[in-house]
Copies of this chain bind each other. A is one copy, B any other.
Amino acid sequence: MAPIRNARVIFNSIPAPNTYPEPGKTTVYDDSHTIDLETVPLDGGFLVKTLVLSIDPYMRGRMREPSAQDSYSPPFTLGEPLANVAVGLVVRSEHSAVKMGDYIYGFLPFQEYTVVPDPAHIRPDIFRILEAKEGVPWSAYVGVCGMAGSTAHHGWHEYADAKPGETVFVTSAAGPVGGTVVQLAKADGLKVIASAGSDEKVSFVESLGADVVFNYKKEDTRTVLQREGGIDIYWDNVGGHILEAALDAAHNKARFIECGMISAYNGEPYGPRNLTHIISKELKINGFVVRNLYPKYRDQFYKEIPPMVASGQVKYMEDRSYGLESVGEAIVSVQKGTNKGKKVVIVTENNIGKLGKDGWNV
């Protein structure tokens, strides 16, 4: 078999602090490489065809100087492909842990085909051979059944200390993390206030069962939270002014789960000026990085969540782009919030699985 294209997306330059990445400059699509799938040496490893790549907000933090230690993941390497959680299909294998035809979940470089020396090479803490499950497209395994869903599930179970009848406020609630939190909170008997950035997203979050959903671009968060009588739990995906409003609205002994601060990633961060509430209201604020919770919650997660997705009990919204050429724009969209649900890049269209109408798996 003749060599075929092995396109990839290179981390090409570091964006200035507090600016958005630029497709074609920060990230560059490169189709100059080829690979011979039959003859490429595996050296005891295996060859993976990338099916779907996850595009996540945290990736912005990896686009930094190697010396800058201000994010929880290592920086991307200039001139090398980006990498993130992905689902791939094993095309050939010399490794005892995987066989041809396996669908695997792990950290993959942003390229069409990759020779992996060992599962440990693509993150032993997350590597997994996936089981096909009716109603769960493979793409869901990088979202609601993958890192994003784990983030919601693990963070909620570790830090929410949720009690029925309490009120939680969830930001970025149409995203795969926020949307899952909304559903976990409803399952736990809480009142859910949720915000999202468009009317379409609001409709989706309403379909998840949230009690009060608003478009934060049209309604003032502080006003809504006050009107609703305050909050016991805040799931923070945004930081800044919204965090400030949540601090004002917090009840005594409220729990703040700090999952993300998208407002601080691409602009000058705003510092909330009402932090004295932390003391007077005896708040518990916990920041977390999901990978450190994997050992405690991972088995529980895979046992619970994919079946709930299959049955429709847990819903999600997915926003697909197609082809590695779309990666640059996909990355910007999750930074700006113009995506509609979990952003994924379908690298190879076959074998992914169907979504419901309008991209909602409802």
Interface-centre pick from A244, A273, A283 (highest chain B CB count, 10 A)? A273
Interface size counted on chain A using CB atoms at 8 A: 36
CB distance from A70 to the nearest CB of B (A): 7
What are the interface flags for A37-65 relative to B under an 8 Å C-beta threshold, 1 for contact and 0 otherwise? 00000000000000000000000010000
In the complex, whether A322 has a CB less than 8 A from a CB of chain B is no
Bound-state Cα–Cα, A39 to B264, Å: 67
Interface-centre pick from A270, A281, A287 (highest chain B CB count, 10 A)? A287
List which A273-301 residues lie within 8 A (CB) of chain B: 273-289, 292
Bound-state Cα–Cα, A311 to B276, Å: 36
In the complex, whether A328 has a CB less than 8 A from a CB of chain B is no
Residues of chain B within 8 A (CB-CB) of A72 are 279-282
Q: Which of B261, B270, B278 contacts A258 (CB 8 A)?
A: B278
Q: Are B292 and A288 in contact (CB under 8 A)?
A: no
Q: Are A275 and B264 in contact (CB under 8 A)?
A: yes
Residues A279 and B292 in contact in the complex (CB < 8 Å), given A271-B270, A273-B271, A285-B285 = no
In the complex, whether A243 has a CB less than 8 A from a CB of chain B is yes
What are the interface flags for A63-96 relative to B under an 8 Å C-beta threshold, 1 for contact and 0 otherwise? 0000000111000000000000000000000000
Residues of chain B within 8 A (CB-CB) of A289 are 279-280, 282
Q: Are A264 and B276 in contact (CB under 8 A)?
A: yes
Bound-state Cα–Cα, A260 to B276, Å: 8
In the complex, whether A164 has a CB less than 8 A from a CB of chain B is no
Residues of chain B within 8 A (CB-CB) of A243 are 275
Residues A269 and B261 in contact in the complex (CB < 8 Å), given A282-B292, A292-B282 = no
Which residue of chain B lies nearest to A292 when distances are taken between CB atoms in the complex?
Answer: B282
Q: Are A261 and B276 in contact (CB under 8 A)?
A: yes
In the complex, whether A124 has a CB less than 8 A from a CB of chain B is no
Q: Which of B275, B282, B283 contacts A272 (CB 8 A)?
A: B275
Bound-state Cα–Cα, A287 to B277, Å: 8
Bound-state Cα–Cα, A279 to B239, Å: 10
Q: Are A280 and B284 in contact (CB under 8 A)?
A: no
CB distance from A3 to the nearest CB of B (A): 41
Residues of chain B within 8 A (CB-CB) of A278 are 258, 285, 287
What are the interface flags for A324-341 relative to B under an 8 Å C-beta threshold, 1 for contact and 0 otherwise? 000000000000000000
Q: Which of B70, B268, B273, B279 contacts A280 (CB 8 A)?
A: B70
Residues of chain B within 8 A (CB-CB) of A7 are none
Residues A261 and B279 in contact in the complex (CB < 8 Å), given A284-B286, A285-B285, A286-B284 = yes
Q: Which A positions have Cβ atoms within 8 angstroms of B?
A: 61, 70-72, 239, 243-244, 258-261, 264-265, 268-289, 292
The 4 closest A-B pairs by CB, nearest first: A271-B271, A278-B287, A285-B285, A271-B273
In addition to A72-B279, A282-B292, A285-B285, 9 A-B residue pairs with Cβ atoms within 8 Å of each other are A72-B280, A72-B282, A259-B279, A268-B273, A271-B275, A278-B285, A280-B287, A283-B286, A284-B285
